[in-house]
Amino acid sequence: MQGWTGREGPAGVAPAAICIGPWPVTIEHKGPGSGRLGEKACRYAEAVDPISFVERPRLDRPSLLCAFRGWNDGGEAASIAARYLAEQWQARVVAHLDPEEFYDFQVTRPRVRLEDGVSRVIDWPRGEFAVASVNGRDVVVFTAVEPNVRWRTFSEAIIGAARDLGCRLLVTLGAFLTDVPHSRPVPVVGSAADEETATQLGLARSQYEGPTGIVGVLHDASNRAGIPSVSLWAAVPHYLPSAPNPKAALALVERASSLLEIPVETRSLLKAVEAWEEGVLRLVQESDELGEYVSRLETAVDQRIDEEVPSGEALAAELERYLRDHGGEPGHGMS
C-alpha cells in the first residue's frame, strides 16, 4: 500500500490507501481487516485493462499496423497513411485505449467540438483499434497520439490487445525529416528486429543503437511477447513548412500494402499528392535561394542513382543520425 498521509484510524492504525489508476486515495477504516480492503482494491486497480473492446472479432492471423501522431510522424505522413489504409479497407473500430493514464493533458490537450451546431463535445486523445478483412486477409490498425508517460504499460497494453486479437506480425509506420528533395520518389526504409523476419520479408535487420521512443519500446514489447516486428520509415523534406505531406503518406501506404500483401486503392490520395506538388512548386519558385537548394538536393540524389550507391543503407544511416541528434526529445525512435 502507499499514500498514507500520517493520519491514524481506530486504535492507532493507518487508514487504508486504495489505488485508483496510478493515484493512491486514502480512506478511513470501518472496522477490523479493512487494511486488506486497501490491498485488494490496489491490486484490482492495477489489474484494470486500459483497453476496452466494443466487439470481439474472430480474425485469422492478422497483422497489427500502428502509427502514432507526434515526433515519429514527420509531415503527419505515418498517421495519414494509417488512417487512409483503415478507411480504404473499410475497417471498423473494435476497441479503444483509455488516455487517462498515458497523457499529460496540458501537453496533449483534448479538443472541443460542436455536434449538430449545438452540443459541445470533448474529444479525448484515445487510441483506436480497427479491424478489416480484405481478399481473405485480416488486419488490425491501431492509431493514437504518442503517449507522454508510462510507455512500458502503454506498449504492454497494445501488445496484450494484439495477442487477444491473434496478431502474428507488428508493423509500425514512421516519418522523419531529412535532406531529400520533394520532386523525387519518397525513400522508405524498412527494418526488422530479428534475422529470420528480415530475411523472410526482404528487409534489413535493425542495427540501430541510441535514444529511442515509443516505436522502439513497442517493438521491444512485441519481440519479448514472441510477435515479430517490422518498422517502415519515410523520408520527408525538412525544408518545407510544417504541414501534412500526402506524398510521403502515399509511399508508406504503398510499402505497407506490399508488405502485408493487402491491396489498396490510391486514386484519392494521388489527387492529394498532385495538389500538394503544385503548391510546393509555387513555394519553391517564389524563392531563388530555396530553388537553388532543391536543385542541389536533386543533383545529389540523381548522382547516387547513377553511381548505384545502396540508397537503402544510406537512408538507414541518415535515419540513425537523425534519431541520435534528436535524442533529447521524446518520441524519436527506431526499433
* Chain centroid offset of residue 295 CA: 33
Q: At 134, which helix (H) or strand (E)?
A: strand 127-134
pLDDT in the model for residue 303? 81
pLDDT in the model for residue 146? 94
pLDDT in the model for residue 306? 53
pLDDT in the model for residue 246? 96
Which parts of the chain have pLDDT scores under 70? 1-47, 204-208, 305-335
The single-letter code of the amino acid at 46 is E
Q: For the chain, what is the largest distance between any 2 Cα atoms, rounded to a whole number of angstroms?
A: 85
Exposed, middle or buried, 15 (CB in 10 Å: 0-12/13-18/19+)? buried
pLDDT in the model for residue 206? 66
Quote the Cα angle for 42-48-53, to 5°. Answer: 170
Which of these, 170, 146, 147, lies nearest to 221 by C-alpha position? 170
State the CB neighbour count (10 A cutoff) for residue 284: 20
User: Helices in the chain by DSSP H: which ranges?
Assistant: 34-47, 77-88, 151-164, 195-201, 214-224, 246-260, 267-285, 288-306, 311-325
**CA separation for the pair 216, 90 (Å, rounded):** 29
Which of these, 234, 201, 237, 200, lies nearest to 334 by C-alpha position? 234
pLDDT in the model for residue 3? 43
- Give the pLDDT confidence of 172-212 residue by residue, as tens digits: 999 988 888 998 899 898 888 777 777 777 776 666 677 77
Q: What is the DSSP letter of 145?
A: E
Residues in the chain: 335
Q: What is the DSSP letter of 120?
A: E
pLDDT in the model for residue 44? 43
Q: What is the pTM of this model?
A: 0.77
- The pairing of strands 204-205 and 229-237 is unpaired
Q: 178 near 235, Cβ under 8 Å?
A: yes
Phi, psi for residue 56 in degrees, rounded to 5: -110, 85
| Helices vs. strands in the chain: H and E counts, helices first | 9, 13
pLDDT in the model for residue 320? 57
Domains for the chain: give ranges and CATH numbers.
10-47 (no CATH), 51-278+311-325 (3.40.50.10900)
**CA separation for the pair 241, 31 (Å, rounded):** 64
Sheet containing 229-237: give its strands across: 51-53, 92-97, 127-134, 137-145, 63-69, 169-178, 229-237, 188-192, 204-205
Q: How many CA atoms lie within 13 A of 246 on its CB side?
A: 16
**Which residue in this structure is represented by grid cell 513497442?**
218
Q: 188 near 255, Cβ under 8 Å?
A: yes
- Give the pLDDT confidence of 90-105 residue by residue, as tens digits: 999 999 999 999 999 9
**CA separation for the pair 51, 157 (Å, rounded):** 7
- SS in 3 state form for 239-269? CCCCCCCHHHHHHHHHHHHHHHCCCCCCHHH
- The pairing of strands 169-178 and 204-205 is unpaired
